[in-house]
């Protein structure tokens, strides 16, 4: 989906937000450009995906999830 959207931007059909890694080569070839907007902070959600039958996590993953959950609760508006 991202690569198709990038091709539409290259063809001149619009703009998009894309991960820097996805457009790195296109930037080198000057096929796309970067527009920086002052005062805008973009936050992306974090998803954990795993197999249904594999519900137990290692201690490292469990610790990571605790950190993420703590961070999320501190980001909530008052």
Residue 71 banded pLDDT, cuts 50, 70, 90: confident
Rounded CA gap, 68 and 71, in Å?
A: 5
pTM: 0.52
CA triple 36-39-45, angle to 5 deg:
85
Is residue 73 over pLDDT 90? no
User: What per-residue string of b and e applies to 46-71 under the rule 16 or more CB within 10 Å gives b?
Assistant: eeeeeeeeeeeeeeeeeeeeeeeeee
**What local confidence, expressed as pLDDT, does residue 36 receive?**
82
DSSP letter assigned to residue 63 = H
3-46 confidence digits (pLDDT tens): 999 999 999 998 898 888 999 999 999 999 988 878 887 777 76
Is residue 78 over pLDDT 50? no
Three-state secondary-structure class, residue 20: helix
**What local confidence, expressed as pLDDT, does residue 51 receive?**
74
């Amino acid at each position: 989906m991202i690569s198709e959207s990038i091709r539409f931007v290259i063809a001149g059909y619009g703009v998009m937000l894309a991960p820097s890694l996805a457009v790195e080569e296109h930037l080198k070839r000057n096929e796309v450009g970067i527009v920086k907007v002052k005062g805008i902070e973009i936050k992306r959600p974090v998803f954990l995906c795993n197999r249904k039958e594999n519900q137990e996590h290692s201690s490292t993953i469990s610790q990571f999830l605790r950190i993420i959950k703590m961070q999320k609760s501190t980001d909530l508006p008052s």
